[in-house]
Amino acid sequence: MGRSGDLPRGLVDRYKARDGRWPDDTGCHVLHVDMDAFYASVEIRERPELRDRPVVVGGTGGRGVVSSANYLARTFGVRSAMPTAHARRLCPKAVFLPPTFSLYQDVSAGVMAIFRDVTPLVEPLSLDEAFLDVSGALRQLRLTSGQIAERIRARVAAEHGITCSVGIGSTKFVAKLASGLCKPDGMLVVPGDEVLAFLHPLPVSALWGVGKRTAERMAEVGLHRVGDVAATPLPRLRRTLGNAAAEHLHALANGHDDRTVEPESVDKSVGAEETFEVDRTDREGLRQELLHLSERTAAALRRRGLRGRTVSIKVRFGDFTTITRSRTLSVATDVTQEIYRTACRLLDEQTPPGPVRLIGVRVEQLGEDAAQQLFLDAPERGWRDADQAADQARAKFGGAAVRPASLLARNPDERTHYRQ
């Protein structure tokens, strides 16, 4: 998405409320709700003394990247995904905090619950954003989309102490663009009959699927604004962009986006990965990391009542070459030890040596765990029972309450902490 600096002046204001009245939102049944600087806002809520200071949440190690920065920090040029070290240079006065994911998950769950009070058609995109289809709710609640959005914004602020921005449109694409343009703590309605007027002045980078490279290529042939794309005949676009991309972008530029809001899609896989501060070559250390990741993955599976049959590992080497290796088990599992054992085999047998930058564990081919294949020599109480007992202890006493002994030396909150 292009920075708002690229936008023609006045464009956004046209779609904001004027004199307490919102533009006509008939037919605008898609809401895109996006928390403002989510991690940073949650941290500030926990420590109000940080309210007037630049706050940056992210990996604090040598290779950490910024996950979230509040708007004050952003005025210094700090952006998400930027190396933390760079952010420190831009804004040395900022407060740098490591992420506390468990807290964000709790807040996110609460916020998503507010959305689901409005409509069952909630499609979370991540912890801090979701699409809502409110067409049913409009009839039921006898409210307009704009009024629903105002209620959601008020409840999120009142119940969770953070702000969010809402884009309202007739399609997902428009709604998402709109929320991006009214941040922070804003709201934007793009009426159905003004979609083209809204889209066409935007830079091509606003189109979903256009990154820096594509934008450059498009600029070479004179395509700068969305309107340029809409006005270009498809055959010409195809020559520049290839068939698939041309059709996709042409449709978007003309306001067509037939993606519907898909509530909580069934997970296809569950996994966890870790980037190291310093590339690692010692296999023992990598195996230990696999244990840690297997534990997180298995716990996530159990929390969702899922089991998977395929275990895969991902290894990214120092030169960024990345491999994935997988193995399918005869029976689906959610047991830490089984996932770990398989992951170790994949590391030992199918992973070439070399300095490792990132390692990940993933379980695929998921199914619900209603029925359970029994083992012949299963002890009365096995690893699964141990895992469940540990889950309960963690639920009660926090994430660090029970851990494999070989991981005890690690600090649970500092997730990329290693002693070399």
For helices 212-220 and 234-241, what crossing angle results, to 10°?
120
Q: Does 372 help bind other proteins (rule: CB under 8 A)?
A: yes
Q: Could you list the residues known to form a binding site, using ranges.
A: 34, 128
165 versus 342: smaller Cβ distance to other proteins: 342
CA distances from 291 to 296, 322, 343, 387, 415 (A): 9, 20, 9, 13, 13
Tokens of 9: 């002046």
Q: How many residues bind other proteins (CB under 8 A)?
A: 20
Q: Is 265 in the site for other proteins (CB under 8 A)?
A: no
Contact 241, 278 (CB under 8 A): no
- In the complex, minimum distance from the CB of residue 120 to other proteins, in angstroms, rounded to a whole number: 17
Rounded to whole angstroms, the Cα distance separating 133 from 122 reads 7
CB of 308 to other proteins, least distance (A): 11
Residue type, 207: L
274 is catalytic: no
Member of 81, 158, 370, 408 binding other proteins (CB under 8 A) = 370
341 touching other proteins, by CB under 8 A:
yes
Say how far apart CA 297 and CA 313 lie, in whole Å. 12
Q: Binding to other proteins by residue 388, rule CB under 8 A?
A: no
Angle at 137 between CA 132 and CA 143, to 5 degrees: 110
User: In this structure, what token pair is assigned to residue 288?
Assistant: 């230990």
Residue 367 in the binding site for other proteins (CB under 8 A): yes
Query: Do residues 94 and 77 lie in contact, with contact meaning Cβ atoms separated by under 8 Å?
Result: no
Q: Which is nearer to other proteins, 132 or 335 (CB)?
A: 335
Angle at 268 between CA 386 and CA 413, to 5 degrees: 50
Among positions 299-328, residues that touch other proteins (CB under 8 A) are 309, 327
Find the catalytic residue in 129, 194, 289, 338: 129
158 binds other proteins (CB under 8 A): no
The Cβ of residue 242 has, within 10 Å, a number of other Cβ atoms equal to: 11
DSSP 8-state code for residue 21 = B
Smallest distance from other proteins to CB 17, Å: 44
Binding of residue 345 to other proteins (CB under 8 A): yes
Binding-residue pattern over the window 11 to 50 for other proteins, x denoting contact by CB under 8 A: ----------------------------------------
Residue 352 binds other proteins, judged by CB under 8 A = no
Question: Nearer Cβ to other proteins, position 28 or 347?
Answer: 347
Expressed in angstroms, the distance from the first to the final Cα of the chain is 40
Whether the CB-CB separation of 301 and 335 falls below 8 Å is answered with no
Among 373, 380, 405, 419, binds other proteins (CB under 8 A): 373
- Nearest approach in angstroms of CB 86 to other proteins is 43
Binding to other proteins (CB under 8 A) within 181-220 occurs at none
Among 377, 379, 408, 419, contact with other proteins (rule: CB under 8 A): 377
Choice from 81, 376, 405, 408 touching other proteins (CB under 8 A) = 376
- Using the rule CB under 8 A, is 375 a contact of other proteins? yes
The set of long-range contacts for 329-333, using a CB threshold of 8 Å and a minimum separation of 24, is 331/373, 332/307, 332/308, 332/365, 332/366, 332/367, 332/369, 332/373, 333/298, 333/307, 333/308, 333/309, 333/363
Query: Could you tell me which stretch among 58-66, 267-275, 291-299, 376-384 binds other proteins (CB under 8 A)?
Result: 376-384
- H-helix or E-strand spanning residue 126: strand 122-126
d(CA 292, CA 294): 6
* Annotated binding-site ranges for Mg(2+): 34, 128
Asked if 103 is part of the footprint of other proteins (rule: CB under 8 A), the reply reads: no
* Shortest Å distance, C-beta 116 to other proteins: 21
Should residue 380 be labelled a site residue for other proteins when binding is judged by CB under 8 A? no
Tell me which residues are annotated as active site.
129
Write out the residues near other proteins by the rule CB under 8 A.
309, 327, 329-332, 341-342, 345, 365, 367, 370-378
